Amino acid sequence: MQLANAVDAFLDHLRVERALSDNTVTSYAVDLSKLVVFAEERGVLEVSGLDATLAAEFLVHLGRSGLSARSAARHLSALRGLCRFLVRERLLAEDPSALLRHPRIGTRLPKLLSRAEVMALLDAPDPSTPRGLRDRAMLALMYATGLRVSELCRLKLGDVDMGRGVLSAYGKGRKRRLVPVGDIALDRLTDYLKNSRPRTAKPNETVLFVSPRGGALTRQAFWKLIGQYALAAGITKTISPHQLRHSFATHLLEGGADLRSVQAMLGHASLGTTEIYTHVAKDHVRAAFEKAHPRARPKKEG
């Protein structure tokens, strides 16, 4: 089998059998397309030519091209996934990536918004317009639940139980999870459903948040509008929807929420992924200790 065809088969496996999101599959496709080009330039067209030497040379090539350690690690993960798939499908006798090591990468702490910045952002939309009501509800719901932007844009009308104050999020790996929703976000969502959505939604449209044309709002559109509202709120740094998710998690931990609960609300498969927020929240804990504990700081003389 040709290597390019094997990569296509692996991507189909990720999409159908492992039910990974379209964004994740696209990332794998981009990374592995570089492998196919690299192999073809060296005369390797068949899967049988993918050996340990080629795999190692590919990683060296990525490093010399100026790729960061984090990006190189992502490419290696894609390569390993492909190689394991090829071994399992008996297209390769052994895994050529087995001895490759991940490049060292430091822990990158998530970028956050302060509480004041969050409040300013949430109040930036104009509630006198249908679009403002929609955007105000979306921002409030994202901060109240920690949803990913793709999860927010995929929400259906039936995913939110207004009476119980919970929503059902459709996350990575097509896994569902229940997330509680606070009263303020529910109030803004109710306002949107009553005074905005009926004006723009197409007949029989089931997506919760709709564009001015009546269809589903895209991730890209939400990225754009959150930047516009950040400027309107006087936030000068560049922000992304994911920063609301990071802020949600960190502010929960600062408020005393336990790590397991935050993990469940974020939809993290591993507790280790959630633990990064404890490094961000520790400054808050330290400040509280220094303020409250009688022996935290030595008393000044005189």
List phi, psi (to 5°) of 235.
-90, 110
Query: Identity (one letter) of the amino acid at 200?
Result: T
How many of the other CB atoms lie within 10 Å of CB of 245?
21
Of 74, 75, 197, 268, which residue is the catalytic one?
268
Of 172, 177, 219, 284, which residue is the catalytic one?
172
Contacts of 80 (CB under 8 A, 6+ apart): 95, 97, 100
Q: Are 80 and 96 in contact (CB under 8 A)?
A: no
Is 13 catalytic? The answer is no
Is 172 catalytic? The answer is yes
Contacts of 20 (CB under 8 A, 6+ apart): 14, 28, 172, 173
- List 180's β-bridge partners, or say none: 166
Of 34, 80, 242, 284, which residue is the catalytic one?
242
Of 75, 245, 246, 251, which residue is the catalytic one?
245
Distance in angstroms (rounded) separating the CA atoms of residues 139 and 185? 9
Question: Concatenated DSSP letters for 279-292?
Answer: HHHHHHHHHHHHHH
Is 75 catalytic? The answer is no
Of 74, 148, 188, 251, which residue is the catalytic one?
148
Q: Indicate the helix (H) or strand (E) that contains 133.
A: helix 130-145
Q: Are 200 and 212 in contact (CB under 8 A)?
A: yes
Instruction: Give me the residue label for tokens 């564009």.
Output: 211
Catalytic amino acids? 148, 172, 242, 245, 268, 277
